[in-house]
Amino acid sequence: MQLTPENRIRLRATVFGKTEAGRVEFVQRSAGLTARQRSVLILIDGQKALGEIETWLDEDVMLEAVEALLRRGLVGITSAPAPTPPSAPARPAVGTAALAAAREFMMTAARKHLGLMAADLLRRIEHAKDESQLAGVIGLWHVSLRESKTGKPCAEDLLAEARALLA
């Protein structure tokens, strides 16, 4: 794929969604994806444009992973975001103290289980300004923990605790 500036702009506005094969891979982990490809697969939700997702990943890394996922048939282009459901009552925003506690919990777990490999992830957690941005990092954080030797046995419990802090 020729990545001219025009192509990059179009790709940033494109909404990708998981195919049936992508949903199966999400559960079974049988396609042999790299950690970055799996992270991108998790972040792709069929509602956000690629440009909204790439704030968490380097653009070239994101485009490379999306291209690989497209070639494997795990994601496809969604013509439009899914319609929003009837307005549900708004969830109250997480307080500053709870956000700080969740951020610190995630950073501590990342340092403990990922060591030096956590540098980029720690930066992303630190720069998350609100609940929605931190929630966007949780997927990558969880996948990273599951991929690590010491984090794998406790990744699910850590995820539940991080989500409880944000609830």
| 100 and 135 housed in the same domain | yes
Interval 2-25 mean pLDDT = 79
| 70 and 119 housed in the same domain | no
* CA gap 98, 33 in Å, rounded: 34
111 — pLDDT class (breaks 50, 70, 90): very high
| 39 and 73 housed in the same domain | yes
Tokens 């700080």, residue located: 100
- The answer to whether residue 87 sits within a structural domain is no
Instruction: Tell me the per-residue pLDDT of 126-139, one tens digit each, with 9 for 90 and over.
Output: 888 888 888 878 88
Q: Domain count for the chain, please give it.
A: 2
CB 106 within 8 A of CB 137: yes
Per-residue confidence (pLDDT) for residue 82, from 0 to 100: 43
Residue that finishes a domain, picked among 50, 78, 106: 78
- The answer to whether residue 102 sits within a structural domain is yes
Q: How many CB atoms lie under 10 A from the CB of residue 118?
A: 21
Note down the domain range covering 53: 5-78
- The answer to whether residue 20 sits within a structural domain is yes
